[in-house]
Amino acid sequence: MSIEAQPTGPAPPAAKILVVDDTPANLVAMRLLLRGTGAQLVEVASGNAALAATLDHDFALILLDVQMSDIDGFEVAALLSDDERTRDTPIIFVTAAYRDDLNRLKGYRHGAVDYIAKPVNDVILLSKVRVFLDLYHGKRALKDLLAQLKQRNAELQAEVAERKRLEELARHQAGHDALTRLPNRLLFMDRIDQAVRRAQRQRKGFSLLYIDLDGFKPVNDRYGHPAGDRALQVVASRLQNVVRHSDTCARIGGDEFAVIMDGAESDDAQRLGEQICRALREPFCVNPDSGDGPMAQLGASIGIACFPESAAEGAEPLVLIEGLIHAADEAMYIAKRAGKNRCHVARGSGLLQAGG
């Protein structure tokens, strides 16, 4: 994955070098020697001042004298190496104390990465300083690149999450009615197919309730389409309040609804049908936003078919589904012809009436 070029902005600040020496002449000499490196020099004359400077600055390199009047360079290096913020800052000891291996080992033990013996060889010092400045610039460039990668990764994760959200929304909208937010006919057919296959696999039954509203057209004609939409939303809400969470309640047509009761016997389905009839008979306000809008009342004719009683034995799932829906639909029409606002249960090849 490539990283897009960032917009040109202000140049990054110059790398900083801390020079620590209690001899003013040595500080001046270092200043003159390092002025061509492009680094910003911070000069201090004591160990305590060096520690204080590291609190205010991020240094690419520290050139540290060992022998100083307050605390020596070894102690300064040890304290810096114990601090999480400064432990990775390279330290070069610049001192006459490195005349034997013991002093060199002591310096390395206290956190030094290199040393320069006095009197200083200008070429050697400049060469080593440039090496550490290059390392610092490379480290900073890598840090910036990692920050860009982290930002881009966060952006990609956000894009993926948004794409998943939109895909889930599209799937939901494809399978749900926009007005009532119930599953639509497409999702209903998928759910009833699952119910048939699950019932065959587990040898358990389920029931289908086919619901056609009574009195919907007069409400729609008298109060207008917004009132009709309100009525359908009220019906959907009341159905969801009555059915179980495990049941599927769907809007399958203009004023037609269906409920799939998983694992339910005919008696359970009949009781639910009667509950639905009672719930939908309750009056509702056509325009609740007005505060005193007109009241309207609906009813429901419900046909109930149970699996496997109302299904053709040994048939393919699609044939079983068509037969079950047909049986429930026929039962619903019998409920309408019998006076509406009631339910009928289909049993085998016949239809059994139940009270409303």
Helical packing angle, 185-202 and 317-337, nearest 10°: 110
CATH number of the domain encompassing residue 119: 3.40.50.2300
Claim to verify: residue 191 and residue 135 sit in the same structural domain: no
Q: What sign for the dihedral angle of Cα 117, 122, 124, 128?
A: positive
Claim to verify: residue 121 and residue 217 sit in the same structural domain: no
Strand partners, 223: none
CA 264 vs CA 87, 206, 316, 340: distances in Å: 71, 5, 22, 24
CA 23 vs CA 29, 64, 65, 146, 329: distances in Å: 10, 12, 10, 41, 104
155: in domain: no
153: in domain: no
Claim to verify: residue 227 and residue 305 sit in the same structural domain: yes
Claim to verify: residue 189 and residue 301 sit in the same structural domain: yes
Claim to verify: residue 302 and residue 195 sit in the same structural domain: yes
63: in domain: yes
pTM for this prediction: 0.61
233: in domain: yes
79: in domain: yes
Least Cα distance to 61 among 118, 114, 122 occurs for 114
User: Cβ distance 14 to 34 under 8 Å?
Assistant: no
- Per-residue confidence of the chain (356 residues) as pLDDT tens digits? 444 445 455 566 789 999 999 889 999 999 999 988 999 999 999 999 999 999 999 999 999 988 888 888 888 988 998 888 888 899 988 877 555 555 566 666 666 778 787 788 889 889 989 999 999 999 889 999 999 999 999 999 999 999 999 999 999 999 999 999 999 999 999 999 999 988 888 888 899 999 999 999 999 899 899 999 999 999 999 999 999 999 999 999 999 999 999 887 788 999 999 999 999 999 998 887 766 678 999 999 999 999 887 666 566 778 889 989 999 999 999 999 999 999 999 876 444 444 44
What are 331's two structure tokens? 């039962």
Range of the domain at 100: 16-145
1: in domain: no
* Residues with catalytic function: 255
Based on the structure, what is the number of domains in the chain?
Answer: 2
Claim to verify: residue 267 and residue 346 sit in the same structural domain: yes
Claim to verify: residue 135 and residue 51 sit in the same structural domain: yes
**Cβ neighbours of 52 (radius 10 Å):** 12
Claim to verify: residue 210 and residue 341 sit in the same structural domain: yes
239: in domain: yes
User: Cβ distance 353 to 344 under 8 Å?
Assistant: yes
20: in domain: yes
CATH number of the domain encompassing residue 242: 3.30.70.270
